[in-house]
C-alpha cells in the first residue's frame, strides 16, 4: 500500500463518510431509540450481536497469524524471550497499580457507604449463572483450561488464551525450522493480509452494530437503572479517567508521547468499544494502528494479543473498587489484611478476563468466591448497571494496551519516533484496508 493511501481521512472525503463520526451518530441515535422506544431498542439487539460475532470470527486467525509471524520473523529467539519477559513485567506492574488505585479510591470515597443492604434480602437467582461459572473456573481449572482439546479446536472456539498458546508454540516451531520455515512464515504473512482485508470490510458496518448494541442497552436496562448506583458509576468512571491521564499519562510522557494525542489517534476504536462494550471488537484494528504508529511489527504481534488477557487495567480497577463497594454496601468490615488479600487474589483472577462483555463481572464473582467475608450474592446489586460499567472497563483496557505496545517497542529500540508523532498528528481512518506492516 502506498503512502498516499493512508493520508488523513479528512483529506479524502466529506465528514459524513468518516467512520468515527458515523459511529458517534449511531451511538447517539441508539440512546434515543432505547430511551423513547425501549421495546424497539430491545429488538435491535441482534444488530450489535451480529457485528460482534463478525469481528470475533476473525480474532483467532488474526492473532494466530500475527503472533506466529512476529515470533518467527524475529530470528533471534532470545529476543522473543526478552520482549515477552518485558511485556509480562510491565503488565504485572501496571495491573497491580490499577488494582491498588481501585482499593485506594474505594477507601477514600466510600461509594457504598449508607446502603445498609441485608444480604439475606437479595435474590441469589439473578446472579446464579455468574456464581456457578466463577466456581467452576477455579485457579487450577482455569490454568488447565488454557490447554485446548486439539490444535484446531483452539482456533475453532476462539478462546484467546488457547489461541495464544498454540500461536506461541507454532511461532517457535517455525523459527526453529530455519530456512525450511521461511516459506511457512511467508504463507502465514500472506494469510494475515487477507484476514485484515476481511476486517476492513466488516468494520464498515460498525455504526450499525454500535447503534443496535446501544439501543438494546438503554432499552433493556433503562437510564433509570443508573440513578440508584450513580455514586459507584461516577466513582468508577472518575477513577478510570484519572488512571488514564495520570498513571498512563506519566508512562506516555516518559516514553516520549502525549496520552491525549494517543487517545485522539485511536478515537475510532474507542467509539466502537463504547458502542459494543467489548475491546475485542477492535483488536485487529489496534494491531494495524500500532504498526502504523511506528511500533515494531514483531513487538506489536506479541504485545497486543497478550495484553488482551494480561493487561486489563480497567477490569482491575473495577474488581477492587466494586469489591470494596459491596463490602461497604453490606456493612462488611474489612481489615487492611483483608484488603491486601483481595489485592493478591485479584492479581491472579484478573489474568483470565478477556475483552468480552461480562468477563469482568464473572471475574469479580470469582474473586468474591475466594473471599468468604463478603456475601457473594451481593453482586446482584451490580447486575443492572454492569453493562454501563463494562463500557468504561473496555475503554480503559484498550488505551492501556496501546500504551504498553509503544513502551515495549521503545524499550527494544524499535519505535520510529518520527513516524509516531506524524501518525498522531494525522490519524488514519479505521475503515482503511491497511495491510500488516503498511507504511
* Domains located in the chain, CATH noted: 8-425 (1.10.3860.10)
Residue 393 buriedness (CB in 10 A; 0-12 / 13-18 / 19+): buried
Is 378 in contact with 326 (CB distance < 8 Å)?
yes
Say how far apart CA 308 and CA 279 lie, in whole Å: 8
Cα R_g (the chain), whole angstroms: 21
Is the sign of the CA dihedral 426, 431, 436, 439 positive or negative?
Answer: negative
Q: Which of 125, 142, 110 is nearest to 370 (CA)?
A: 142
Give the model's pLDDT for residue 243.
95
User: Helix or strand or coil: residue 63?
Assistant: helix
Is the sign of the CA dihedral 18, 20, 26, 31 positive or negative?
Answer: negative
Say how far apart CA 349 and CA 367 lie, in whole Å: 6
**φ and ψ at 295, to 5 degrees?**
-75, 145
**Along the 439 residues of the chain, how does pLDDT read in single tens digits?**
333 334 444 455 676 677 778 888 888 898 889 888 888 888 888 888 888 788 778 878 888 888 888 777 766 667 777 888 888 899 889 989 998 999 899 888 888 777 777 666 565 555 555 555 555 555 566 667 778 888 888 888 877 778 888 888 888 888 888 888 888 888 988 888 888 888 888 888 888 888 888 888 788 767 665 665 788 888 999 999 999 999 999 999 998 899 999 999 988 888 888 877 777 778 888 888 888 888 888 888 888 888 877 788 988 898 888 888 888 888 888 778 877 877 877 776 666 555 444 556 667 776 776 666 777 777 777 766 777 788 888 899 999 999 999 999 888 888 888 888 888 877 666 555 444 444 4
Say how far apart CA 20 and CA 178 lie, in whole Å: 43
Say how far apart CA 163 and CA 305 lie, in whole Å: 10
Give the model's pLDDT for residue 417.
84
Amino acid at each position: 500500500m502506498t503512502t498516499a493511501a493512508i493520508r488523513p481521512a479528512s483529506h479524502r472525503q466529506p465528514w459524513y463518510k468518516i467512520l468515527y463520526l458515523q459511529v458517534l451518530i449511531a451511538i447517539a441515535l441508539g440512546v434515543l431509540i432505547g430511551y423513547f422506544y425501549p421495546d424497539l431498542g430491545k429488538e435491535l439487539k441482534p444488530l450489535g450481536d451480529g457485528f460482534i460475532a463478525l469481528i470475533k470470527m476473525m480474532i483467532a486467525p488474526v492473532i494466530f497469524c500475527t503472533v506466529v509471524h512476529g515470533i518467527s520473523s524475529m530470528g533471534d529467539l532470545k529476543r522473543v524471550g526478552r520482549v515477552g519477559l518485558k511485556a509480562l513485567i510491565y503488565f504485572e506492574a501496571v495491573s497491580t497499580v490499577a488494582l491498588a488505585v481501585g482499593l485506594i479510591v474505594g477507601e477514600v470515597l466510600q461509594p457504598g457507604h449508607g446502603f445498609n443492604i441485608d444480604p439475606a434480602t437479595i435474590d441469589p437467582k439473578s446472579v446464579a449463572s455468574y456464581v456457578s461459572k466463577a466456581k467452576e473456573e477455579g485457579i487450577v481449572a482455569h490454568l488447565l483450561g488454557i490447554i485446548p482439546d486439539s490444535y484446531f479446536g483452539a482456533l475453532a472456539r476462539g478462546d484467546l488464551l488457547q489461541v495464544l498458546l498454540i500461536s506461541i508454540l507454532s511461532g517457535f516451531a517455525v523459527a526453529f525450522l530455519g530456512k525450511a520455515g521461511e516459506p511457512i512464515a511467508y504463507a502465514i504473512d500472506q494469510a494475515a493480509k487477507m484476514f485484515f482485508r476481511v476486517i476492513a470490510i466488516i468494520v464498515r458496518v460498525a455504526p450499525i452494530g454500535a447503534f443496535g448494541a446501544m439501543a438494546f442497552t438503554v432499552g433493556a436496562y433503562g437510564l433509570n437503572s443508573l440513578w440508584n448506583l450513580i455514586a459507584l458509576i461516577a466513582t468508577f468512571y472518575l477513577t478510570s479517567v484519572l488512571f488514564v491521564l495520570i498513571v498512563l499519562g506519566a508512562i506516555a510522557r516518559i516514553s516520549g508521547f502525549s496520552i491525549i494525542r494517543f487517545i485522539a489517534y485511536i478515537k475510532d476504536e474507542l467509539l466502537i468499544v463504547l458502542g459494543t462494550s467489548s475491546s475485542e471488537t477492535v483488536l485487529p484494528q489496534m494491531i494495524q494502528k500500532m504498526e502504523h504508529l511506528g511500533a515494531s511489527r514483531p513487538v506489536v504481534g506479541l504485545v497486543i494479543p497478550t495484553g488482551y488477557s494480561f493487561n486489563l487495567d480497567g477490569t482491575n480497577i473495577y474488581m477492587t473498587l466494586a469489591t470494596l463497594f459491596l463490602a461497604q454496601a453490606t456493612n462488611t468490615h474489612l481489615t487492611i489484611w483483608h484488603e491486601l488479600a483481595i489485592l493478591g487474589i485479584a492479581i491472579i483472577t484478573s489474568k483470565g478476563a478477556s475483552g468480552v462483555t461480562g468477563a469482568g463481572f464473572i471475574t469479580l464473582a470469582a474473586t468474591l468466591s475466594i473471599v468468604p467475608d463478603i456475601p457473594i450474592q451481593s453482586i446482584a446489586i451490580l447486575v443492572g448497571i454492569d453493562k454501563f460499567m463494562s463500557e468504561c472497563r473496555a475503554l480503559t483496557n484498550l488505551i492501556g494496551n496501546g500504551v504498553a505496545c509503544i513502551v515495549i517497542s521503545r524499550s527494544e529500540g524499535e519505535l520510529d519516533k518520527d513516524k509516531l508523532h506524524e501518525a498522531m498528528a494525522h490519524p488514519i481512518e479505521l475503515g482503511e484496508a491497511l495491510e500488516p506492516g503498511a507504511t
